[in-house]
A and B are shown apart, each in its own frame.
Chain A
Amino acid sequence: MIDKRLLGQLDVKLVALVITLIAIGIINLYSATVNLAGVGLPFYQRQLWWLGIGVVIGLLVFLVDYHYFEEFAYPFYFLSLLCIVCVLIYGMVVGGAQRWIKIGLFTFQPSELMKIALIFVLAHHFAKYTGRDGYRLRDLLIPAIITIIPVGLIAKQPDLGTALVLFFVFLSTVIFVKIRFRSLLILLMVVILATPFFWAGLKDYQRTRILTFLNPNMDPLGAGYHIIQSKIAVGSGGIWGKGYLHGTQCKLQFLPEHHTDFVFAVLGEEWGFVGCGVVLALYLTLILWGLNTSVRAKDRYGALLAFGITAMLFFHVVVNVGMVLGIMPVVGLPLPFLSYGGSSIIVTLMGIGILLNVRARRYMF
């Protein structure tokens, strides 16, 4: 199961990239929360604890050959589904949304786990098929059902962001495995036609958020105000930024979630265009590295795993940064490595573990 040659195959460059992003995340989080009174440990220290847990989990995921995970794909998926249902029924109500489940001292969001579970199940499903000239729509029925069930349940919680991540993972995987052009067109039509029903099923505040994104004037006191303040924070950073710990905008509570979803605004204000550019370049490198890992994987299953993880990371980064910069709706997705939050860190590092796993076993039989 664990090969001695494995360590030799560890992708040091990817590890270095991840460590760099983690370090930037902690440094930035320290600044973001320096004025924020919390209960118990300071936020950055709590984040360090989560990182510790995440690294251990990521390492375990790396060490076990990813082929062993394949048979656990469905059990893992149904377990996550069960947890989500439990959250809907028993979960504690936090901020009006039922996302958390409490196990002892920890609260975690099973919807985060579902991201990984769905990637495993989809990879497992598409790895078996070897059709040459692309998938037809009827071949997509099962994966679509597999995706829609958790998407619906999570959107009901309501956690729009995570539901969109799952949907994006499904959509990009379908494109990746090659779908017939005609089928793709029909699929797009279906999505467009389903939009009104999706719209009708949204909660009022979610609709407001999307409408606010399209027209921030609609809610100038809520989301519209956040977008403006976030733009002011980033914009006032200028080329070189106001300097580390010298940001004013973000620390003054104008951005209510400046240590979680809006943490990029802190970076933008203090490190300016240069800092943001570097961090975005690092993210882009990570995404391209992930795609590269995918096409160079030993087999279809590995390629699909790596691709799913990459798609998930890509969506998180693009939607979160786009939101902070005012070009994406305020859907509430954390920025990998930078946002505060245990569930996000653990899932991100699990993903990195999978990428390293697939990459390390390229040449191994």
Chain B
Amino acid sequence: MDIRRREPEEFKARYKYLVFAAVVVFLIIFVRLWYLQVIKEHEFRLLSENNRIRLRKISAVRGMIMDRKGRILADNRPSFNVMVMPEDVDDLQGLTKRLSRFLHLSASKIEGKIRDRNRPPFQPIKIKGDISWREMSLLKTNRLDLPGVQISIEPIRTYPHGKVAAHILGYVGEIDKEELKSKKGYKMGDCVGKCGVEWAWEGHLRGIDGGRQVEVDAVGKEVRVLREVPPIPGHNLYLTIDLDLQRYAEKLLSERAGAIIAMDPTTGEILAFCSSPSFQPSLFAKGISVKEWEELVSSPLHPLQNRGIQGLYPPGSVFKIVTAAAGLEEGVITPRTILYCSGIYHVGRRGYQCWRRGGHGAVDLHRGLVESCDIFFYQVGERLGVEKLSRYAEGFGLGRPTGIDLKGEKSGLIPTAEWKKDRLGEPWYAGETVSMAIGQGYLLVTPLQLLNLISSIANGGRVLKPQIAKRVEDVDGNVLEEYRPKQIGRLPISQRTLNEIKEALVDVVRDKRGTGRAARLAGVEIAGKTGTAQVIRLRGTGRRLKPEEVPYEWRDHAWFVAYAPASDPEIAVVVLIEHGGHGGAAAAPIAGKMIKKYLDLKQGGG
């Protein structure tokens, strides 16, 4: 017989205790059930009718956004919203009629909102947001005729400086269905950052909503507050932007399409970031109307586009910096190499012109950059070939996002023979290398990429991540996060090459034949490079036309990148004027003014 056979007998001793314990535990549950369902039945039944206990959200105040000196760029103000709880409404038709009269909304529109099928039950629906004081007092006096209507007070986002820095700040709006699916912890009707830093720092800015557990009567009026959790305000964000410089940049562009970005080349901090034309970010917080939205979207100048990171343009002659560096590093030229510019250069059967019809004559690298001689760089490009050129372009940070914490940054494009084969199914032509050497052809960059490029030159070869935020503080002023400079790469060039280029860039502005002399300032040495990006190749006349003689959308884009003081750079600037014509004429003076303003502010502000 199995030795274990006998064993279970010993469990019998504890069996009766275990049965007893189980029965007692179940008895406790029965008693509880009896208490809830028999003794308290009436009370709970009342509470369950019309769902008498409800949760009301208390929205957290969104964190403020400040410039680097603590001046407010985004703030909140109270707004009044008309809400309807359809479950509390008996006479829907009568209610919509009255509401449409008080609020100047069509009855069908109100009814459409109330009858929305996707709404979870017992969730109030917003009929109209941010109502005026007049509307509010009308509703208050007629309160008794409006069962199921509540007025909720919610903080709403305001931007005290209007359009200033709109593309950096971004905007907030009601969360949409897609975002509801992808983001955790959000409910319908919540406000969420849609782009800019409002989007990128959403987690910090948002705060934590509080709420009230309330008991309501049969028409949805609050009888008493059962419990309340206060909301926790969002954290405050300090940007690297200087409001004065930002406003000045916007004034310089006025309504011209383009972008100005300024950066501290030693830290990567963005000092001003202006994309023009701009928009009113506060429109979105209220809930933008269809008409306003269509106006923004259909505008030919696309005000919503952030040109600094989303606008793609050929870099034009600014790219000659890359070609020059590649040429020196790869040894196809030396600083003393002399190439001849006759005004036209032939590749195969085609002639490529220099911007200067008569040619520059014998040109070395220094003069090539200073006077932006196209033919010098055609020849350097031809010696390098497309693969090496594109490799250096990559090394200078082109063709990929700079990594700034803003939504929708574009990569730009560095063409290669392989890319062309894949994309267009055509082989690469030698002439295209020549175009690429002066920043034309398929090359596409964003203004921020060029700023990062010139900034890396200025700081001695370090590629930094452009920083837009300085720090995050909680409401009590405790610093939660501090953003330090972040190096993400190094220019693939030697110090000697770098110095050679820097000397030339100084003469671009200093030399009387330099293309960027319009940026010149008294008392400070500026280094820079012009660029004139062709939008379309004008045939026929052979004469170089003045911008005014060409239709707007065919005019060249004007570029200027600069840094100052040349010996110990504190500020780097990129200026892009869409269809602005020549870089030296349209963009360089603006860059000069930006640098002057920066220096003035530094003196004035201490």
Which A residues are within 8 Å of any B CB, using their own CB? 96, 127, 130, 132, 175-176, 178, 217, 219-221, 224-225, 228-229, 231-239, 248-249, 252-254, 268-269, 272-273, 276-277, 280, 283-284, 287-288, 291, 294-303, 307, 314, 318, 321-322, 325-327
Q: Are A288 and B19 in contact (CB under 8 A)?
A: yes
Q: Are A220 and B45 in contact (CB under 8 A)?
A: no
Q: List residues 40-57 of chain B with CB under 8 A from any CB of chain A.
A: 40-41, 43-45, 47-48, 51, 53, 55
Question: Within the assembled complex, what's the spacing in Å between the Cα atoms of A229 and B29?
Answer: 18
Q: Tell me if B37 and A300 are in contact (CB < 8 A).
A: no
**Residue in A229, A254, A294 whose beta carbon sits within 8 Å of that of B11 in the complex:** A294
Q: How far, in angstroms, from A254 to B47 measured CA to CA in the complex?
A: 13
Q: Are A276 and B32 closer than 8 Å at their CB atoms? A: no
Is B211 close to A, CB under 8 A?
yes
Are B2 and A299 closer than 8 Å at their CB atoms?
Answer: yes
In the complex, the answer to whether B227 meets A224 with C-beta atoms within 8 Å is yes
Contacts of A322 in B (CB 8 A): 29, 32
9 nearest A-B residue pairs (beta carbon)? A235-B44, A220-B227, A236-B48, A300-B7, A273-B37, A238-B41, A299-B4, A235-B36, A221-B211
User: Does B14 make an interface contact (CB < 8 A)?
Assistant: yes
Task: Tell me the smallest distance from the CB of A190 to a CB of chain B, in Å.
Answer: 22
Interface of A is mostly: helix
Q: Which of B5, B41, B55 contacts A298 (CB 8 A)?
A: B5
Q: Given A220-B228, A291-B22, are A254 and B51 also a contact pair (CB < 8 Å)?
A: yes
How close is A104's CB to chain B, nearest CB, in angstroms? 25
Q: A176-B11, A325-B32 are known contacts. Are A130 and B22 too (CB-CB below 8 A)? A: no
The reply to whether A291 and B15 contact each other, CB–CB distance below 8 Å, is yes
B488 within 8 A of A: no
Whether A252 lies near B36 (C-beta < 8 A) is no
B residues near A, CB below 8 A?
2-5, 7-8, 10-15, 18-19, 22-23, 25-26, 28-30, 32-34, 36-38, 40-41, 43-45, 47-48, 51, 53, 55, 120-122, 184, 210-211, 213, 226-229
20 example contacts (A-B, Cβ-Cβ < 8 A) are as follows A96-B184, A127-B4, A178-B10, A178-B14, A219-B229, A221-B229, A232-B47, A233-B48, A235-B43, A235-B44, A253-B121, A254-B51, A268-B36, A273-B34, A280-B30, A291-B18, A294-B15, A298-B8, A318-B25, A325-B29
Q: Do B19 and A280 touch across chains, with their CB atoms under 8 A apart?
A: no
Give the docked Cα–Cα distance between A175 and B34 (Å).
Answer: 31
A180 to chain B, nearest CB (A): 14
| A253, chain B: closest CB distance, angstroms | 5
Q: Which residue of A lies closest to B7 (CB)?
A: A300
Task: Other than A178-B14, A238-B41, A253-B121, give 16 A-B pairs with Cβ distance below 8 A.
Answer: A96-B184, A178-B10, A220-B228, A221-B55, A229-B53, A235-B40, A235-B45, A236-B45, A237-B41, A239-B38, A268-B33, A277-B33, A280-B29, A300-B8, A318-B26, A325-B36
Interfacial chain B residues near A301, Cβ < 8 Å? 4
* Residue pair A235, B12 in contact (C-beta under 8 Å): no
A325 to chain B, nearest CB (A): 5
How far is B34's CA from A327's CA once the two chains are assembled, in angstroms? Answer: 13
Q: Which residues of B contact A254 (CB under 8 A)?
A: 51, 122
The answer to whether B48 and A232 have CB atoms under 8 Å apart is: yes
CA distance A219 to B229 in the complex (A): 8
Nearest-neighbour CB distance to chain B for A284, whole angstroms, equals: 5
- Are A228's CB and B48's CB within 8 A? no
CB-based contact A300/B51 at 8 Å: no
Q: Which residues of A contact B45 (CB under 8 A)?
A: 235-236, 238
User: B44 is contacted by which of A232, A294, A295, A327 (Cβ under 8 Å)?
Assistant: A232
B33 touches A303 (CB 8 A): no
The answer for the CA separation of A58 and B68 in the assembled complex, in Å, is 68
B212 to chain A, nearest CB (A): 8
Contact A280 B33 (CB under 8 A): yes
Evaluate contact between B22 and A288: CB separation under 8 angstroms.
yes
Interface pair A284/B121, CB less than 8 Å apart: no
Residues of A within 8 A of B7 (CB): 130, 299-300, 303
B residues near A219, Cβ cutoff 8 Å = 229
Bound-state CA distance A178–B11 (Å) is 8
* Chain B residues, CB < 8 A from A277: 30, 33
A302 CA to B43 CA in the complex, in Å? 49
- Measured between beta carbons, the chain B residues less than 8 angstroms from A291 are 15, 18-19, 22
Residue of A nearest to B44 (CB): A235
Is A314 a contact of B22 with CB atoms below 8 Å? yes
A254 to B33, CA, bound (A): 20
The answer to whether A276 and B213 touch across the interface, beta carbons within 8 angstroms, is no
A252–B121 touching, CB < 8 Å = yes
Measured CA separation A170–B595 after assembly (Å):
75
Per the bound structure, the CA–CA distance linking A314 and B40 in Å amounts to 27
| Chain A residues positioned under 8 Å from B11 (CB to CB) | 176, 294-295, 303, 307
B30 partner residues in chain A, CB cutoff 8 A: 277, 280
- B29 contacts which chain A residues (CB < 8 A)? 280, 318, 321-322, 325, 327
> Chain B nearest CB: distance from A286 CB in Å?
10
Residues A295 and B12 in contact in the complex (CB < 8 Å), given A301-B4, A325-B32: yes
Q: Which residue of B lies closest to A318 (CB)?
A: B25
- Nearest-Cβ distance from residue A326 to partner chain B, whole angstroms: 8
Contact A235 B10 (CB under 8 A): no
Residues from chain B with a CB closer than 8 A to the CB of A178 are 10, 13-14
Docked complex Cα distance between A228 and B28 (Å): 19
Given the contacts A232-B48, A280-B30, A225 and B19 also touching, CB distance less than 8 Å: no
B39 to chain A, nearest CB (A): 9
Query: Most B CB atoms within 10 A — which of A228, A232, A314, A322?
Result: A232
How far, in whole Å, are A321 and B26 apart by their CA atoms in the complex?
10
* A325 to B32 CA separation, bound complex (whole angstroms): 7
Contact at A234–B8, with CB atoms within 8 Å? Answer: no
Query: Chain B CB within 10 Å — which of A220, A235, A297 has the most?
Result: A235
CA distance A127 to B7 in the complex (A): 9
Shortest Cβ distance from B541 into chain A, in angstroms? 65
Chain B residue numbers with a CB within 8 Å of A252 are 51, 121-122
A326 CA to B45 CA, complexed, in Å:
17
In the complex, chain B residues whose CB is within 8 Å of the CB of A220: 211, 213, 226-229
A303 in complex: contacting residue of B8, B22, B55, CB < 8 Å: B8
Chain B nearest CB: distance from A200 CB in Å?
24
